[in-house]
Structure 1
Amino acid sequence: MISKIAKAHLLASGCLVGLAAFAPGVAQAAAAPDGSASSSGEIIVTAQRRAEKQQDVPISITAMSADTLQKANIVNIRDVQNIAPSFRVSSTGVFMQLSIRGITSTALGPGIENNIAVYVDGFYQPISTSLGGDLVNVANVQILKGPQGTLYGRNATGGALLVTTREPSADKVIFDADAGYGNLNDVRLRAYAGVPLGNGLSFGVGGYYRSNDGYIKDVDGSNAAPYSNWEVRTKLKYEPSADVSLTLGYNHMWKDDGSTYAYGFYKNQSLAGVVPIPPIGPLRTDQPDTSSVDTPPINSSRLDEFTGKLSWDTGFGKLNSYTSYANELFHVDVDFDGTKVPLQRFDARWYRKTWTQALDFQAKPADNLDLTVGGMYYHDKSSQDAPFYSFGVMRARGFTTQRTEGLAGYVDATWQAVPNLYLTAGVRYSRDKRSIESFNRLVSPATVVVPLTRASFDSWTPRFTVRYEFQPDMSVYASYSRGFKSGLFNSTGSPATMTTPVRPEKNDAYEVGLKAASHGIYFDAAAYYYDYKDLQVNAVQIDPATQRTLTSLTNAATARIWGFEASVSAPLTEQFNVRAAAAYTHARYRNFANANPIVEILPGVNGSVTGGQNWSGRRISRAPDWTFNIGADYTIPVGEGSVVVAANGAYSSKYAPTSEGFDLTTGAVYEQKGYFQANATIDYHLPGDHLTIGAWVNNLTDKRYAILFTAEGLGSKKVLSTPRTFGVKLGYKY
């Protein structure tokens, strides 16, 4: 068996071969001053908190422009996995759960953050519910792979997702809008307007509305999970001079998508003989895309966010200040038993109020030195009101509040030691103070009070990189970085487990890579090795007093993740562009001898079997070994207009989308088999390029995969992805 070090050497050798292929005639691409794109069309990324060409950044990045997203018909974050290798998205209720190179979070609930840091316009988003809506009026999306512990270090064990939305211009009027209609009665309306107001003042507003009937039917014939999403995003920008800008923003988002709660148990449903389960028929189903719940599922999220960004070029350096306040409400109302009989129901509301203050200062003290210094203050209060009903009677109601106060500071410097050799060193110090308290009122046996309990966690997260530039737009790099996810309390667990926090996650990452560009062709490759400790792993338990479903949050001891990936994009002709990417990810628990799993429910057994399984050597959830994607677009001149045809396809090998459940004799239970999906669009741009008429089809072959695949105390359940969808659209831009 080839050792991990030998594999890294093999990839490095491949990188050198790639260098030889790109050696002749590499052109320098000029960076755009607004940090959006280079003159050659390449996205200018902000992975190091300054605008740089992607080829100059020693970090693995998948960067997607608005044009790329449009041609690939990327509607939401889940769709991004169709064009981003080693990136997965799953859902548990209202929560979007991201995975990069096998690093993901299964912990959910008030005060719990993901280990993939998410930033929208530079503002930290503590949980990914705000990503549940569609991607609209977006300028670009960047996926930073590997720990971002220094510059984007708050809970960035696996990486970061950076979303940049559009901004108004002080010089010109911007207006564009489009409308679409598709099967499932899918209605989409979008518009953006940017208006200069004079004296350096401009205003931009973007709006979006989408609704459809959903693809899941109830046994009574009704639409079980209709979809609704609408958003408004505003920006008021003031630029009194070329050195100063102030942007004030207000964002509102509403989404309701009950698809992951509209289900019937597909097998092994049981109430341990306490209540007779209705037979398959009008009161219960085991068929896909069909539900048999007595309470229509509600899975909604509402976000109101106020932001302020100040940028000031002092002459010596540039100061950026980010201030935000967010008020979020999540409402989940779900029928746990999956029958038309009112046996078990969970109706919960989560309230979250978060404000952050971040500063970063970018300076160039010398011609060969770039310096970034910054810090962040984070304050969050998250509460949960969670009634549980059995046989139509409230059996329990829990009120839980978790508070977090975080403080961090960092410094990062890149030094050009000699011509073409760049050395980067940085470090961040993070400290979190957390507290939890809970009041659980039970019908039986008694009321339980969880006293105010506090804990604190801190860590140093360094990074070091070496980059050698053979010539402009061609370089190799090696890096070491550490990621840190704070310890936390299990806010959705039983009262007995809430006051025992889990330890922080830490990830030591080593990476080597190659980046090259020539005549519009972009190529990058990387190999990596992660030493991942104290993974925070969630599992389901059943409260014996009330029979309600709770979670058990524990630390897995260690995991080892290694892999390699490569991507290329190229214009074969002036009209024909192709892009492809592939990734191999070997993500396995190294030491997890006493796992607390969700296992397949056996008839007559009420509740999941817990404890005692040895998961050492088993695959981590949301970590397929192989992912690849391929895409192309072709422009056909038609008179004074043009037709653009685009298509993309993506493959994923088998993985567990939700639960790491195992049968000790037959292996994984809740594992999605490998699959391939393809999408296509066609757009006719009328002469003048103001009006566009188009059509799209997603999931061409109608291939379905599991977005939810797990068990609860009552049985095993699975929800499939959206079937083939298609529609037409009409767009206008000024």
Structure 2
Amino acid sequence: MRKIAFGTASSIAMVMVMGAPAYAQSTDEPEAEESPAATEDVIVVTAERREQSLQDYAGTAAVFKGDDLRARGIQDITDFNDELPGLTVANNGGNVEIWIRGVGSSNNTELGDPAAAFHYDGVYVPRPSGIGSAFFDIERVEVNVGPQGTLRGRNALAGSVNAISWKPGLGVWDANLEVGYGNYDHKEFRGMINVPVGDNAAFRVSGMYLGHDSYYNNVGPIQNVDVAEQEDNKAIRAQFLWEPTERLSILLAGDYIHEEGTGYTGTNYAGPLGNGILPEEIEDPRDVIGNAFTPILDTKHYGLRATITYEADPFTVEFTSSYRDLVYNYDANAPLTPFYPGVIGDLSSRGEEPNTIIDDIILQENLDNFSRFQFITDSESYYNELRIFNNEGPFIWSLGGMYFKENQYAFLASTGDRGLFFQGIEFNNPDVNAESWSIYGDATFEINDRFRITGGLRWTDDQKSRRGVAARYGLALGDGNFNCCMGVRYGTEGFEFAGRDRTIFDPDTNGDGNVSNEEIFAFQLNGVRQFGLRDNLDDILNFGPLEGHFDDVPGAVECLDTVSFDGLVCDGFANTSQFTYAVPFRDQIFLQDGEIKDDFIDWRLRLEYDITPDNLVYALVASGHKSGTFNDNLGSNGFFPTTETENVILYEFGTKNEFWIGDVKAKLNGSAFYNDYQDQAFSALLSVETIADFELEQGEVVDIGDDVSLALIVGYTFNAADSEIYGLNVEGGLELPANLNWDFNLLWLEAKIKDSQEIPDGRFQPDVEAVPFRNIAGKRLPRTPRWQLNTSLSQNIDVSSGSIDWVISAGYRSDTFQTIFNSEDYEQPNNPRLRLNDVVKGYWTFDLGAGYSHGDDGKFRFEVYANNVTNKQKESAIIITQFDNTRFFTRPRTYGARMRVNF
């Protein structure tokens, strides 16, 4: 596989010295007059919105060919995490997060946007959930590194990723069928057919099925439930290309993706960390204690696209219009804990003297806890772009305009089964809208045969709005002596949230300006479509505030009378049947009504010079922006903190070179880069009181309504710092005898906070301990290993009956942090609490692939692969709160075989 990267200043100087003489010496050889494109397969990239050789592109990009991805067992975009220095990809609870050289976003709410733009056949995809299953019949995947503001526009702050499928071929009958099998009962089927329609039209239809068992292993006492990371995915793509004249081309495309399975929950490591056990001391991070029920993922993602291209003289007109619809629905619970020696005892113990009866009850209640959560994202997006361009020198230019619109329904809710006061949360937002307009121009002028100058400018106008409601449910249940609370059942078997069928959004249904207990109960009941079989919260809510007894409430019975355990839980209630009141906590339901508007200008300037036809040097400066957003209202329709637009300016100097070392063709490319990152935003779960304090420190006038609890926890995104990211990158390779190829890609990266205000530490919760404010100046940015390396060795061998090929690749990532606090315990620096640990230790990964193609035309092919051979399951994301240290891991070792027949 060929991949581009960049290098040290000394490498750049060395290339200039080595490259030019090598070219001068080779001019005496006839074959040296040929361009690189004539002597090898040209790697094509469309980073400039036009096709060109990757070696001729004056910037940072990488290209992954579709066949190379399959050969190494790469299934979807999350597997790119260890494949390219500077690129990290995480599946955070089903949300795909892409980070490029430390620039990214973990705000996965309906208000958040990715910082690295994802494109599917050139169309911007705002919510990439489910798009991993589009990785079939793929020609190539391009990664453009650094801000792409003028070229790719909206939210290409870190760069962009573009998955490009094979297009219909005119005048060609073609078809293939592929089947594969691997560990974890991995099954895959892929197929494609290309049918010509006359001389100037063609259909291409392709599809795939991929399924496998869970990568998790439930080793707990309850074996009738499955756990996360089982997949059952199906997808189809159809395209029709019509070229009625030599100038006019019309491409119509549609795709449908359906992902099912058990989704991505991660695992909470707070338990073992609290008992002094480090993650690396746990033998298998995917051995877990499962409980309650099996998670259910149901994602449907489809799109329609039309691209019309007309080649006028001397320019081309292109219009693209696309519609995409995503419904991501995930109803799940998380495993209780990873498995480690003594875990069952920890789940049974109360930290007191052992008591077999009580400990067994505690264990059973932990295993029978149906606390659950559900995400629903329904996103409809419209993308329209008109471009007028000329791709022929000496003046290459592009003018265009883009309009993007997204309508969302967003829902997040949870139940706190057996909760102490807390019964769950609900964010129900039926009206979330975003619109973006932009106009742009970009041009490259060839001053002479060697020297070119490029300039670009883009103006963007963005706006977002949301209407909905947020609620936190808390119910105090007790008697005259306040024997209270433990064991309210909520979310058991058969439970369903009402979701978009909710009819009450304002709890003040009678409009008198006050919200009574009865109205709060009615509001909560309206959010439930169906209570679970063993729920008792519905009985309590239907009774409402009472004087008297709850004798008729199921489960209100006398429990085992044990001296050593006061308040023993028995099927949902404490050891009393004398309940005289059920009172909700007030001020925790409030309406959402927020909006933000912003506009900004992106620009770029680049100089490039050909020392020889095979030696290029360039210097560029480019800007990129990520749209700002707003946060939850602090009170019904009250104050909503906003986040300013983030901005990165990239400075880069680089060179690309091809030359000969004797009979061996060599490539050596390098660059030095510096990113000036302004108004960097972070996301955390914080209390309303903490958010208000932080906003007041920024000089904001914060008016919190009387209808919101200061202790209410909400998601909060805020501008925190200015950062600097710089490094050196070198990439190269040798074409050795016997069709043996060696490639490498090395990155040295520094990424740190340059200036920062003190920010709230979201790892602490205010109702447990005061939330401190921390100084993060000098901290290293998350997901930025200092050293990153990828290298591969491959060969293609001709045999009498066909050809054999193989590839061995290796990757290294040094230590990295997953939060901005870099594992620091500010209060106990000499004895840090392990739950604050967010470091990922350095590691190597190895991939293997080999194949046999039969015959000169390769009609039959057999492949074997092994991905992550040494089974390094490392954290791709870590979320730390007061009671959580939740970790999501890279894919474990997978291996298998495939057979493909081309017809």
| TM-score, L = length of structure 2 | 0.73
Please state if 1:701 is matched with 2:870. Answer: yes
| Structure 2 partner of 1:34 | none
CA distance in 2, matches of 1:197, 1:132: 31
| Structure 1 partner of 2:242 | 238
Aligned-partner residue type, residue 877 of structure 2: L
Please state if 1:569 is matched with 2:572. Answer: no
Shift of 1:398: 2.1
CA distance in 2, matches of 1:391, 1:723: 32
Q: CA 1:42 to 1:607, structure 2 compared with 1: closer, same or farther past 3 Å?
A: farther
| 1:450-508 deviation line (CA, Å, top 9, x unaligned) | 35332211111110000001122321000000011111123699978982221000001
Q: CA 1:204 to 1:112, structure 2 compared with 1: closer, same or farther past 3 Å?
A: same
Please state if 1:383 is matched with 2:401. Answer: no
| Structure 2 partner of 1:669 | 837
CA distance in 1, matches of 2:179, 2:635: 47
| Structure 2 partner of 1:273 | none
CA distance in 2, matches of 1:187, 1:494: 50
Aligned-partner residue type, residue 486 of structure 1: S
**Does the 8 Å contact 1:541/1:607 carry over to 2?**
no
Alignment partner for residue 251 of structure 2, among 247, 272, 275? Answer: 247
CA distance in 1, matches of 2:446, 2:285: 62
Q: CA 1:686 to 1:483, structure 2 compared with 1: closer, same or farther past 3 Å?
A: same
Shift of 1:328: 0.7
Shift of 1:700: 1.4
Shift of 1:12: 4.7
Q: CA 1:729 to 1:266, structure 2 compared with 1: closer, same or farther past 3 Å?
A: farther
Q: Which moved more, 1:287-296 or 1:564-573?
A: 287-296
**Does the 8 Å contact 1:363/1:372 carry over to 2?**
yes
| Structure 1 partner of 2:322 | 324
CA distance in 2, matches of 1:100, 1:175: 37
SS at match of 1:178: strand
SS at match of 1:133: helix
| Structure 2 partner of 1:352 | 379
CA distance in 2, matches of 1:176, 1:698: 24
Please state if 1:551 is matched with 2:715. Answer: yes
CA distance in 1, matches of 2:333, 2:594: 32
| Structure 2 partner of 1:185 | 185
Larger strand fraction of residues: 1
Residues 109-188 of structure 1 aligned to structure 2 (within 5 Å): 109-133=109-133, 135-188=135-188
| 1:383-406 deviation line (CA, Å, top 9, x unaligned) | 212232122796443212321111
Please state if 1:523 is matched with 2:523. Answer: no
CA distance in 2, matches of 1:230, 1:548: 41
Q: CA 1:408 to 1:59, structure 2 compared with 1: closer, same or farther past 3 Å?
A: same
| Structure 2 partner of 1:618 | 779
**Does the 8 Å contact 2:72/2:866 carry over to 1?**
no
Shift of 1:266: 4.5
Output the aligned Cα RMSD.
3.0
SS at match of 2:152: coil
CA distance in 2, matches of 1:576, 1:67: 18
Please state if 1:410 is matched with 2:440. Answer: yes
Alignment partner for residue 607 of structure 2, among 466, 488, 491? Answer: 466
CA distance in 1, matches of 2:738, 2:813: 31
Aligned-partner residue type, residue 838 of structure 2: Y
| Structure 2 partner of 1:628 | 789
**Does the 8 Å contact 2:234/2:258 carry over to 1?**
yes
Aligned-partner residue type, residue 458 of structure 1: D
| 1:130-162 deviation line (CA, Å, top 9, x unaligned) | 433362111011111111110112111111112
**Does the 8 Å contact 2:73/2:894 carry over to 1?**
no
| Structure 2 partner of 1:3 | none
Aligned-partner residue type, residue 720 of structure 2: A
CA distance in 2, matches of 1:501, 1:343: 35
Q: CA 1:541 to 1:465, structure 2 compared with 1: closer, same or farther past 3 Å?
A: same
Q: Which moved more, 1:20-29 or 1:591-600?
A: 20-29
Alignment partner for residue 287 of structure 2, among 286, 289, 292? Answer: 289
Please state if 1:207 is matched with 2:207. Answer: yes
Q: Which moved more, 1:212-221 or 1:236-245?
A: 212-221
Q: Which moved more, 1:321-330 or 1:574-583?
A: 574-583
| Structure 2 partner of 1:397 | 426
CA distance in 1, matches of 2:636, 2:42: 52
Structure 2: any 5+ residue segments left out of the alignment?
1-6, 27-31, 276-282, 337-365, 474-584, 690-708
Shift of 1:627: 0.8
Please state if 1:362 is matched with 2:383. Answer: no
Shift of 1:553: 0.9
SS at match of 2:643: coil
Identity of aligned residues (%): 21
| Structure 1 partner of 2:799 | 638
| Structure 2 partner of 1:260 | 264
Alignment partner for residue 435 of structure 1, among 465, 471, 480? Answer: 465
| 1:618-644 deviation line (CA, Å, top 9, x unaligned) | 111111111111112122333222221
SS at match of 2:463: strand
CA distance in 2, matches of 1:494, 1:88: 37
Shift of 1:286: 11
Q: CA 1:409 to 1:287, structure 2 compared with 1: closer, same or farther past 3 Å?
A: closer
| Structure 2 partner of 1:87 | 87
CA distance in 1, matches of 2:794, 2:634: 49
Larger radius of gyration: 2
SS at match of 1:405: strand
Please state if 1:650 is matched with 2:811. Answer: yes
Residues 576-587 of structure 1 aligned to structure 2 (within 5 Å): 576-587=740-751
| 1:576-632 deviation line (CA, Å, top 9, x unaligned) | 12211011111111122323344389xxx9768744111111111111111111112
CA distance in 2, matches of 1:631, 1:494: 56
Alignment partner for residue 224 of structure 1, among 223, 227, 234? Answer: 227
Q: Which moved more, 1:653-662 or 1:42-51?
A: 653-662
**Does the 8 Å contact 2:20/2:612 carry over to 1?**
no
Shift of 1:432: 0.4
Aligned-partner residue type, residue 624 of structure 1: P
Aligned-partner residue type, residue 643 of structure 2: V
**Does the 8 Å contact 1:465/1:477 carry over to 2?**
yes
CA distance in 2, matches of 1:486, 1:609: 32
Please state if 1:535 is matched with 2:680. Answer: yes
Q: CA 1:300 to 1:289, structure 2 compared with 1: closer, same or farther past 3 Å?
A: farther
CA distance in 2, matches of 1:337, 1:547: 27
Please state if 1:424 is matched with 2:454. Answer: yes
| Structure 2 partner of 1:282 | none
Shift of 1:710: 2.4
| 1:295-325 deviation line (CA, Å, top 9, x unaligned) | 3223443211111111111122111111111
CA distance in 1, matches of 2:326, 2:634: 22
Aligned-partner residue type, residue 178 of structure 1: E
**Does the 8 Å contact 2:139/2:166 carry over to 1?**
yes
Q: CA 1:374 to 1:15, structure 2 compared with 1: closer, same or farther past 3 Å?
A: farther
CA distance in 1, matches of 2:632, 2:738: 55
Q: Which moved more, 1:433-442 or 1:417-426?
A: 433-442
Aligned-partner residue type, residue 619 of structure 1: R
Larger helix fraction of residues: 2
SS at match of 2:447: strand
CA distance in 2, matches of 1:431, 1:191: 42
CA distance in 2, matches of 1:498, 1:56: 51
Structure 1: any 5+ residue segments left out of the alignment?
1-6, 32-37, 271-276, 278-284
Q: CA 1:291 to 1:97, structure 2 compared with 1: closer, same or farther past 3 Å?
A: farther
CA distance in 2, matches of 1:649, 1:606: 47
Alignment partner for residue 311 of structure 2, among 313, 321, 328? Answer: 313
Count the aligned residue pairs: 705
| 1:497-521 deviation line (CA, Å, top 9, x unaligned) | 9822210000011000001234764
Alignment partner for residue 504 of structure 1, among 636, 645, 665? Answer: 645
| 1:264-319 deviation line (CA, Å, top 9, x unaligned) | 5442789xxxxxx9xxxxxxx99643143423223443211111111111122111
SS at match of 2:892: coil
Q: Which moved more, 1:216-225 or 1:623-632?
A: 216-225
